[in-house]
Amino acid sequence: MRKQMTDVEKSIYEESEKINSVKKIVKARSSAVETFQTTPEELSSEDWKAKTFSFPNNTVRLGTVFSGIGAIEHAFQRLKLKYKIVFAGDIEEKCRQSYFANYEINEDDWFTDIREFDATQYRGQVDFIVGGAPCQAFSMVGKRLGFEDARGTLFYEFARVVKETEPKVFLFENVKGLINHDNGRTWQVIHDIFEELGYDVHFRILNSKDYGIPQNRERLFCLGFKKPTEFRFPAPIELEYRMYDFLEDYAYTKYFLKEKGIKFVTSHKNREKSYTQVNGDIALCQKRNQQFNWHGDFVYHPVAEGEPFEEDFDEFIFDVRDVEEKYYLSEKVAKYVLAGGTKGFRTSTKTDLDVARPLLQTMHKMHRAGVDNYVTHKGRIRKLTPRECLRLMGFKDSFKIVVSDTSMYQQSGNSIVVDVLIAILKQMDITTYGVNYEG
- Domains in the chain, number: 2
Give the pLDDT mean for 50-74.
Answer: 96
- In 270-322 the beta strands, taken as DSSP E runs, fall at 276-278, 296-301
More confident residue, 400 or 327: 400
Strand-strand pairing, 82-89 and 110-111:
parallel
Task: Specify whether 89 is located in the same domain as 230.
Answer: yes
Residue 40: how many other CB atoms lie within 10 Å: 10
Give the pLDDT mean for 30-54.
Answer: 79
Return the pLDDT at 107: 95
Structural domain of 43 = 7-239+400-433
Active-site annotation, residues: 135
Residue 394 lies in a domain: no
Cα gap 158→224, rounded to integer Å: 12
Task: Specify whether 38 is located in the same domain as 143.
Answer: yes
Which residue intervals of 321-401 are DSSP H helices?
331-337, 386-391
Task: Specify whether 232 is located in the same domain as 136.
Answer: yes
Burial 339-375 (b: 16+ CB within 10 A, else e): eebeeeeeeeeeeeeeeebeebeebeebbbbbbbbbb
Residue 114 lies in a domain: yes
Q: Please name the amino acid found at residue 141.
A: V
Task: Specify whether 220 is located in the same domain as 310.
Answer: no
Say what the pTM is. 0.76
Q: Please name the amino acid found at residue 387.
A: R
Residue 392 lies in a domain: no
Residue 244 lies in a domain: no
Task: Specify whether 226 is located in the same domain as 285.
Answer: no
Residue 290 has pLDDT above 80, yes or no: no
Give the pLDDT mean for 395-406.
Answer: 94
Task: Specify whether 74 is located in the same domain as 187.
Answer: yes
Backbone φ and ψ for 10, nearest 5 degrees, come out as -65, -40
- Among 209, 244, 169, 255, smallest CA distance to 428 is for 169
Length reported for the chain: 439
Task: Specify whether 379 is located in the same domain as 407.
Answer: no
Give the pLDDT mean for 46-55.
Answer: 96
Backbone φ and ψ for 116, nearest 5 degrees, come out as -110, 10
Average pLDDT, the chain: 74
Residue 389 lies in a domain: no
Task: Specify whether 227 is located in the same domain as 261.
Answer: no
Task: Specify whether 256 is located in the same domain as 355.
Answer: yes
Task: Specify whether 227 is located in the same domain as 284.
Answer: no
Task: Specify whether 371 is located in the same domain as 429.
Answer: no
Cα gap 385→241, rounded to integer Å: 18
- Among 83, 48, 65, 60, smallest CA distance to 168 is for 60
More confident residue, 306 or 160: 160
Task: Specify whether 286 is located in the same domain as 196.
Answer: no
The pLDDT-based confidence of 322 (bands split at 50, 70, 90) is very low
